[in-house]
Amino acid sequence: MVEVRNTERELHRLRVRLAVALLVVLGCFGVLGARFWWLQIYRYADFRAQAEDNRIALVPAPPSRGLIFDRNGVLLAENVSAYTLELRPMRNARLEETIDALSQIVEITPRDRRRFRRLLQDSRRSESVPLKVKLTDDEVARLAVQRFRFPGVEIRARLFRSYPLGDTAAHVLGYIGRISMDDLARLDDQNRLAQYAGSTHIGKVGVEQSYEEVLHGRVGADEVEVSAGGRVVRTLSRTPPVPGSNLVLSIDIRLQKLAEELFGDRRGALVAIEPSTGDVLALVSRPGYDPNLFVDGIDPQTWQSLNEHPDHPLLNRPLRGAYPPGSTYKPFMALAALTTGARTPSDTISDPGYFMLGTHRFRDSKPAGHGTVDLRKSIVVSSDTYYYKVAYEMGVDRIHDFMKPWGFGQLTGIDLENETTGILPSKEWKLRRYKQKWYPGETPSIGIGQGYNAFTILQLAHATATLANDGVVMKPHVVQSIEDPVTHERKRTVPKESYRIPIEPAHLHLVQEAMAEVNRVGTGRHAFAGAQYVAAGKTGTAQVIGIRQNERYDARRVSERHRDHSLFIAFAPLEAPRIAVAVIVENGGFGAQAAAPIVRKVIDYHLLGKLPEDMDEELLPGIVDEAELRDIPEDIEAQTIAVPEAARP
Amino acid sequence: MTLHDRVSLWRRVRRHVFVFDPVLTIALAMLVALSFVTMQSAALDYDGRMADHARNLFIAFVAMWIAANLPLQWMQRIALPAWIVGVALLVAVALFGDVAKGARRWLDLGFTRIQPSELMKIAMPMMLAWWFQKREGAHGWADFVVAGVLLAVPLALIVRQPDLGTAILVFAAGFYVIYLAGLGWKVMLGGLVAVLASMPVLWSLLHEYQRQRVLMMFDPSSDPLGRGFHVIQSTIAVGSGGVWGKGWMHGTQAHLEFIPERTTDFVFAVFSEEFGLVGNLVLLGIYLLIISRGLVIAAGGANVFARLLAGAITLILFTYAFVNIGMVSGILPVVGVPLPMMSYGGTAMLTLGIGMGFLMSIARQRRLVQT
């Protein structure tokens, strides 16, 4: 009996516990049910979005860069397809060993390694960095076979910028280089970072830089489905990239090359402008360099040799070299004197060969002086005394106020970066700069383009062009039009006049004709003998070091780098000028000696198509048939040839 | 042979063939169907996995059938030896076991490798049920203490391996028996309080990776690509399934490799992504059906052993289902617990099959006297 009751009680107790257990089970499943509700209903939209986020990725399709042509259609910058060997540092723990192993398969030079290391420092972590570029088909084949040994090593077909004419117009074109951290920061500030997804290069200097936004184009995107490991499963949609627009420069590349050749080994700068439009026909900086060196990433040694070369080939002289203009300043000084009324056309002085100020004797370059000199003669024979005097009488500030609208000491606004303003001295300037007041004794040298005057050749050419254009100022520019890559529709960038300088036509003509006389009977007569047109010009000789009061200048005794600079400005033809030029040959001696002959040959070519006798026609870039140019492919997509699978996260 | 003999032969055969409990069988059949369908999708890029899974299901079915045929006395008789063998094997593992992934869990027998702790999952409840059967009539506190020791010894060996996940499951299995046997409510409450109070101490005893798992449960975004990855991706899978799911074979999280372990521990994520809330509720419903039936069978068991064992097996099944689904949904830390009948894994399925078989056997051999 007890047993039965015990069993009953035990059964009952068991059943109670089973019931409790069932309740707990129901409770737990209830919790699960609540969780499901929360995940699948309440937060459904969120999770759905995350699932989509996971599986969909946007792969950028970088645009192809715009081409650059000269005004006649000669190709100056293009994109060439080539294979590169690239490493992804994030996935390569032992880079040196990987490189060593790769060098067993293809040749890897020390230069390649140096450049690779330098690029590595400046790259984003996830980027692949090129080790060897422009692989031959044979090299590609050998590498592709071995690629399984090298995860994180890729062979890519990339578009490379190529400058077929090498160092011609290097300073105008500039170059592109790999995007650095600084570039990224700058793009971010401009809100343009998104456009550079998938891009590796950006314009660094020159037109490549100043027109970067136009040349770059607009990035496209592939919407792809990816697995967790980043493997692309399929493409869902595609927004094609918009290729960059092409640039047509105002530069005449044959003129440019001619001018560069005329310099020879000498250092200097030349700027030629079309006065009526502001088109820059040539912008020469010597010595130059080959921009192709920079495209793959320049190796440190080459960079150093360019950077530290005593002749500074990387320096853009026309824009950044500030020189005293010397006697080329005199025509402008003459205009200043006429406009301010300090002189009339018929006023004369007696030029004994010096100008006395107190006890200081300002010497004329011709020790005996030029006798009786009026304004016209002062330009033709380049009388220093005349201009010492007129400068002193005008005072530095009146000179400053006249010269400023002509662009001296100002930015010309050319469409290249990093112009320098140079120095147009004034009392206020000196106070600001040296915390000293202006001494009247400093003014006479201003009149002959020495003293504190420091202008760029671009400014000088610009002023000359304005003079040729009768005082109508046209903003100088190197890009003439922007060409739509698909429709080939061209849009002119300029020109319209910036402003007009209020000046008497009679004064202008007087100075212009005096300058024509310079080339007929004056200091420019040797250079312009036999010219088939009338050209206006002015020689200039800028002192590099001061000559002591009683000493004479003897070029042979002074070391080359202390010799005077040779300058020349000109425009032609006198009636309706089509070209204005300013040249400096550093340490070239007298203006007539080195600079003027270059200008003569440049104008001969531009106006007459005539080449110097000793120059080979073949030297100049050929003009290509327009039809041939259009064969250049406009939308080359960078393809990846051999990429190993990405790892799982 | 007489007519009588032939009839009884058929009846004997029939008795052994039709041992299946109808409710359980239907529920299990539905579960197997879901398992098939889900594995097709989950194992899409896995060569041969589907075939292996089908094979495992078949083996489990056979094991279930054999177990369903075992008489109760037989089950009772092997309980103690099974437990002893289990402990011995665990000791052998501790001494000679293979180390894999920082844990010593496997024993190499030459022709195959076994994991004794898996065996313990069945042997433990059987052993304890046997114990309480032996002490039937008067369950004094001494009996419970002995039960506790019987539980603790193998448990300690498993914890040492270390295999916290299995240890917890073995403990649960044993605990359920002890609970059903009549462990005092106050004792359980006291035990719960003690565990809660000693949380800090327990926390410090955990290995780093175990702690990480708990932390990941609370904030998986703190390590989204590393340790938090499983949890984040599986909750995305579950959540993005919505009410109706993305459709069979259309799970993007699953097919794009965002769910690691998608054929094993995380197969529920695949199921949930493709069949949505509706599918989830159906699955819970099936499990609930099996559990309810199991508890009813336990209530009607022939003796103490039968009742305790049936109850424990049922609650163990519940534990697996709840912990796995909870883990995949992100409300429990990640532990290696498979989803019954759905996850790929031969041993677990075998154990489950045997367990279900025992339930059916117990169901058939009901008490002769009803109260």
User: Tell me, what's the ipTM?
Assistant: 0.89
Check CB contact under 8 Å for A18 and B295.
yes
Check CB contact under 8 Å for A36 and B288.
no
Check CB contact under 8 Å for B311 and A228.
no
DSSP character at residue A235: E
Structure tokens at A561: 């780098």
B265-269: average pLDDT: 90
B2-6: average pLDDT: 60
Higher pLDDT, B110 or A415: A415
Name residue A349's beta-bridge partners. Answer: A373
Per-residue confidence band for A324, with pLDDT thresholds at 50, 70 and 90? very high
Alpha-carbon distance A139 to A116, whole Å?
18
Higher pLDDT, B18 or B276: B276
DSSP character at residue B301: B
pTM of the model: 0.66
Alpha-carbon distance B366 to B312, whole Å?
17
Hey, of B176, B231, B240, which one would you mutate to test binding to chain A, going by the most A CBs within 10 A of its CB? B240
Find the closest chain A residue to B307 by CA distance: A14
Note the pLDDT of residue B356.
93
Note the pLDDT of residue A401.
94
Find the closest chain B residue to A17 by CA distance: B180
Hey, of B252, B281, B286, B317, which one would you mutate to test binding to chain A, going by the most A CBs within 10 A of its CB? B252
B56-69: average pLDDT: 90
B61-82: average pLDDT: 89
Alpha-carbon distance B245 to B238, whole Å?
9
A213-234: average pLDDT: 81
Per-residue confidence band for B138, with pLDDT thresholds at 50, 70 and 90? low
Question: Cα distance from B66 to chain A (closest Cα, Å)?
Answer: 27
Contact criterion met (CB below 8 Å) for B271 and B38: yes
Evaluate if residue B130 carries a pLDDT over 50.
yes
Beta-carbon contacts of residue A204 (< 8 Å; ≥ 6 apart): A174, A175, A176, A177, A294
- In the three-class reduction of DSSP (H, G, I as helix; E, B as strand; rest coil), residue A491 is classed as strand
Per-residue confidence band for A157, with pLDDT thresholds at 50, 70 and 90? confident
Pairing of strands A565-572, A579-585: antiparallel
Which residues on B lie below 8 Å from A54 (Cβ)? 233, 236, 252-253, 256, 258
Evaluate if residue A325 carries a pLDDT over 90.
yes
Check CB contact under 8 Å for B371 and A32.
no
Check CB contact under 8 Å for A37 and B277.
yes
Which residues on A lie below 8 Å from B295 (Cβ)? 18, 21-22
Note the pLDDT of residue A5.
59
Size of interface A-B (CB pairs under 8 A): 130
Check CB contact under 8 Å for A40 and B182.
no
A401-410: average pLDDT: 94
Question: Cα distance from B183 to chain A (closest Cα, Å)?
Answer: 10
User: For A175-179, B178-182, B207-211, which range has the lowest pLDDT when averaged over its residues?
Assistant: B207-211
DSSP character at residue B101: T
Which residues on B lie below 8 Å from A90 (Cβ)? none
Active site (annotated) includes residue A103: no
Which residues on B lie below 8 Å from A29 (Cβ)? 284, 287-288, 322
pLDDT digits over A329-384, tens only? Answer: 999 999 999 999 888 888 888 888 888 888 888 888 888 888 888 899 999 998 99
Question: Cα distance from A88 to chain B (closest Cα, Å)?
Answer: 20
Per-residue confidence band for A47, with pLDDT thresholds at 50, 70 and 90? confident
Q: Distance between alpha carbon A62 and the CA centroid of its chain, in Å?
A: 23
Which residues on A lie below 8 Å from B327 (Cβ)? none
Which residues on B lie below 8 Å from A17 (Cβ)? 179-180, 182, 311
User: For A79-93, A370-384, B119-133, B311-325, which range has the lowest pLDDT when averaged over its residues?
Assistant: A79-93
Find the closest chain B residue to A227 by CA distance: B256
Check CB contact under 8 Å for A51 and B240.
yes
Which residues on A lie below 8 Å from B286 (Cβ)? none
Structure tokens at A120: 């590595």
pLDDT digits over A76-101, tens only? Answer: 999 988 888 888 765 556 778 888 88
- In the three-class reduction of DSSP (H, G, I as helix; E, B as strand; rest coil), residue B251 is classed as coil
Note the pLDDT of residue B160.
79
A248-269: average pLDDT: 92
Evaluate if residue A628 carries a pLDDT over 70.
no
First to last CA, chain A: 70
Beta-carbon contacts of residue A449 (< 8 Å; ≥ 6 apart): A324, A325, A326, A327, A328, A329, A330, A333, A540, A542
Note the pLDDT of residue A254.
92
Alpha-carbon distance B327 to B272, whole Å?
13
DSSP character at residue A606: I
Residue among A306, A268, A308 at smallest CA distance from A289: A306
Higher pLDDT, A546 or A78: A78
Length of chain A: 649
Higher pLDDT, A3 or A376: A376
Note the pLDDT of residue A645.
39
Note the pLDDT of residue A25.
94
Note the pLDDT of residue A362.
87
Name residue A350's beta-bridge partners. Answer: A372
Note the pLDDT of residue A495.
67
pLDDT digits over A439-487, tens only? Answer: 988 999 999 999 899 999 999 999 999 999 999 999 999 999 999 888 8
Per the prediction, chain A carries an average pLDDT of 84
Structure tokens at A459: 């400014």
What residue type is B100 in one-letter code?
A
Residue among B264, B270, B232 at smallest CA distance from B252: B270
Which residues on B lie below 8 Å from A11 (Cβ)? 371
Half-sphere exposure of B78 (CA within 13 A, CB side): 11
Check CB contact under 8 Å for A40 and B241.
yes
Is residue A355 classed exposed, middle or buried when 0-12, 13-18 and 19+ CB atoms within 10 A define those classes? buried
The contact set of A with B (CB < 8 A) is: 3, 6, 8, 10-11, 13-15, 17-18, 21-22, 25-26, 28-29, 31-33, 35-37, 39-41, 43-44, 46-48, 50-52, 54-55, 225-229, 233, 648-649
Q: Give the active site residue among A123, A327, A378, A383.
A: A327
Check CB contact under 8 Å for A39 and B243.
no
